[in-house]
Amino acid sequence: MSSRDVGLLGGSFDPVHEGHLDVARRAIRQFRLAGVWFVIARRPPHKPAGSSADAVHRVAMLELAVASEPGMKVCKVELERGGPRYTIDTVRTLRSRHPDQEFWLLLGEDSFRNLGSWRQPQRLLELAAPIVCPRPGYAGERPARWRGIELRWLEGAPIDLSSTSLRQQIAAGERPAGVPSQVLDYVRRHSLYEGESGS
């Protein structure tokens, strides 16, 4: 791969944690990517109001987390008013804005296993070649192709962290090791996740 190759890692990042950063670091190293862009999502509609951080805080936490990480940056395209709602729309928008870049889609294994339910999944993987990131709890076969499209699998053991669990630990007054210290400091300053429950 070349300096034009960029990985796209999507998510709510609520909060960003070491599992996210580890995936990006390993992808950059293994596939010689120029970098990884964290594509931060709008608040998912199924999440209860008040239990999660607003987009402005999630962006700020991500920017703190990647500030000292070479090649990593925050991508806010999905937060724009009237912006993309599906991953394929996001990729098309980014390709039109950055025609000199080659994009690679970093997919968690759980998302990959449900790819058939996505909007235009085959076209999506034609526009951004997939890198599948193993997740804890998935021990099935790792196919080499999906509908004729080559799959690449991220090497190394994944860090088993859950943003939901981390929010609950923070709400309980703990300082979980899986969250970067600068992010935890930000959470405390802005009193985030205080209403998080175990539900």
Which pLDDT band, with edges at 50, 70 and 90, does 9 fall under? very high
Domains of the chain by residue range: 5-189
What pLDDT digit, counting tens, does each position of 67-115 carry?
999 999 999 999 987 667 799 999 999 999 999 999 999 999 999 999 9
Task: Give the tens place of pLDDT for each residue, 110-165.
Answer: 999 999 999 999 999 999 999 999 988 777 789 999 999 999 999 998 899 999 99
pLDDT at position 46 is: 46
Which two three-digit tokens encode residue 5? 């190759």
For residue 68, the model assigns a pLDDT of: 94
CATH architecture under which domain 5-189 falls: 3-Layer(aba) Sandwich (3.40)
CA distance readout (Å), 110 to 106, 140, 183? 12, 11, 26
Residues 104, 39: Cα–Cα separation, whole Å: 12
Give 187 or 51, the one with higher predicted confidence.
187
Residue 178: pLDDT band (50, 70, 90) is very high
Q: Binning pLDDT at 50, 70 and 90, where does residue 52 land?
A: confident
Element (H, E) at 105: strand 102-108
User: What is the model's pTM?
Assistant: 0.92
For residue 43, the model assigns a pLDDT of: 64
Residues 75 and 79: their CA atoms lie apart, in Å, by 9
15 preceded by a cis bond (ω within 30 of 0)? yes
Q: Which residues, other chains included, contact 198 with Cβ-Cβ below 8 Å and sequence gap of 6+? A: 168
Which structure tokens are listed for 151? 């799959």
Q: What is the pLDDT of residue 149?
A: 96
